[in-house]
Amino acid sequence: MFIEKSKYTGFCSGVKAAVNKAQEILKEEKKLYSLGEIIHNKDVVDELGKKGLIIINDIPEKNDAKLLIRSHGVGKDIIEKIMKKNITIIDATCVKVKKIHKIVEEYCINGYDIIIVGDKNHPEVLGILGWCNNKASIIESIDELHNLKIDTSKKYCLVSQTTFNTEVFKKISETISKNYPNITIHNTICDATQKRQDACVELASKSDVMIIIGGKNSSNTKKLYEMSKKVCTNTFHIENYKEIPYKYIDKNTKVGVSAGASTPDWIIEEVIKMSENLNEINDMNENQNGTMHELFESYGGVSYIRTGDIIKGTVISVSPDAISVNINYKSDGIITRDEYSFAQVPDLTEVVKEGEEIEAQVVKLSDQDGNVVLTRKSLEEKKVWSDIEKLKEDGAIVDISIIEASQYGIYGKVNGIKGYIPRNQISVKRDVDPS
């Protein structure tokens, strides 16, 4: 089997920024609202939900948490309603979408009728609609353009959903250029979308099987699937490794993999890794019955793991800079010194012994040497913050060593977490020199 990943896959910059903002806030706060799903990916939404992200469809009645505007954006009227309730807005609207908002608002003020090319029910399109007084025509095809019955005495401005099908938009633009000189065209399809779609089609044209990874309700993932299907009959839209179309794949199959803008790298990595393992499993289990998942579970007695799992293993070797762990998987796990603890550990051999059991979280299924990358920091972090919270509640006094100073204050660490004392809090004396 030969597996090739498309050149452009995974989170786009807008989605990545929104998810990162949510993660940063949830480190400090236990609750955060998101107006609509922050991302069209159930696995990511569920993971953020465990940390305190609450998906809502309307503006909350209570002002008891910050409200995140996802990358799709919302209408101007929605922003104004939120501000009236004094709710803190975390605006994660994609910069490309904000540009569209600005275009339609300005053209609307100047007397233009607005035409939006996109999915009528997509949240991004509904958000754009809210920046032109909710008065716009929405089309998805050339036929719908003709059905608008364009008035040649009026001026029109046409924009597009950032993730719209580039081929369809091109045909609509060509039709307008030939027949409707009074329509000003703004190609607002994201460059990343164009590159993603082109790369996907190119890969599909030379693949026996094409796997498109992404949420079932992800608009841009559906478009990748539709475009790929035209050139590769065996194209499949899956959400994660559990839906890999194993019966269409054998050791001689050329498999192409692409993914929508809402698909995180770890899910793509899982699908590729599980597909690669199929070669070895097929060689060892050609006559074995059962589901593919059962074959994976029974393969060599190893367990199945995925990125983000918390697992236990046995330490098989220790060096000053890294620990090798038997995790009952086809590859051993590796914990580097930097990933062992928040606290400074100069030599791992002084704190870890061969044969002891250790708990860690899976960061990556395979590094450049084929080892599973593990970390203990994420597990330690929960306990550390809990301990710090208790210190605060108890009004405890702690001794720390100063590690850094600047004109603004001094820095130290409490249980491995960096802390800061502002210049005006160092002493009752005025104008203390932090150095």
Give residue 280's pLDDT. Answer: 57
SS3 per-residue string spanning 54-96 = EEECCCCCCCCCEEEECCCCCCHHHHHHHHHCCCCEEECCCHH
Single-letter amino acid code for the residue at 174: E
- pLDDT mean across residues, the chain: 87
The CA distance from 309 to 362, in Å, is 5
Q: Which residues are catalytic?
A: 124
Instruction: Average the pLDDT over 395-417 and give the result.
Output: 88
Our separate counts of H helices and E strands in the chain read: 12, 20
Model pTM score: 0.60
Question: Percent of the chain scored above 90 by pLDDT?
Answer: 50
Give residue 158's pLDDT. Answer: 96
298 pLDDT above the threshold of 70: no
Give residue 203's pLDDT. Answer: 96
Instruction: Average the pLDDT over 368-390 and give the result.
Output: 84
Q: Are strands 66-69 and 32-35 parallel, antiparallel or unpaired?
A: parallel
Give residue 287's pLDDT. Answer: 47
Categorize the per-residue pLDDT at 15 as very low, low, confident or very high, splitting at 50, 70 and 90. Answer: confident
Compute CA distances 100 → 142, 156, 185, 324, 404, whole Å. 21, 15, 12, 51, 45
Residue 147, classed as helix, strand or coil, is helix
Categorize the per-residue pLDDT at 406 as very low, low, confident or very high, splitting at 50, 70 and 90. Answer: confident
Q: What is the pLDDT of residues 86-113, one digit of tens each?
A: 999 999 999 999 999 999 999 999 999 9
The CA distance from 139 to 168, in Å, is 11
Categorize the per-residue pLDDT at 304 as very low, low, confident or very high, splitting at 50, 70 and 90. Answer: low
Give residue 300's pLDDT. Answer: 42
**Who has greater pLDDT, 40 or 122?**
122
Compute CA distances 93 → 14, 17, 19, 39, 268, whole Å. 7, 9, 11, 12, 25
Cβ atoms 166, 227 nearer than 8 A = no
Instruction: Average the pLDDT over 280-308 and give the result.
Output: 54
Cβ atoms 175, 145 nearer than 8 A = yes
Which residue's entry shows tokens 């005006």? 424
The CA distance from 299 to 284, in Å, is 8
Give residue 212's pLDDT. Answer: 96
Categorize the per-residue pLDDT at 236 as very low, low, confident or very high, splitting at 50, 70 and 90. Answer: very high
Name the H helices within 13-159. 13-28, 42-51, 76-84, 95-109, 123-129, 142-147
124 pLDDT above the threshold of 90: yes
122 pLDDT above the threshold of 70: yes
Instruction: Average the pLDDT over 123-127 and give the result.
Output: 94
302 pLDDT above the threshold of 70: no
Cβ atoms 227, 200 nearer than 8 A = yes
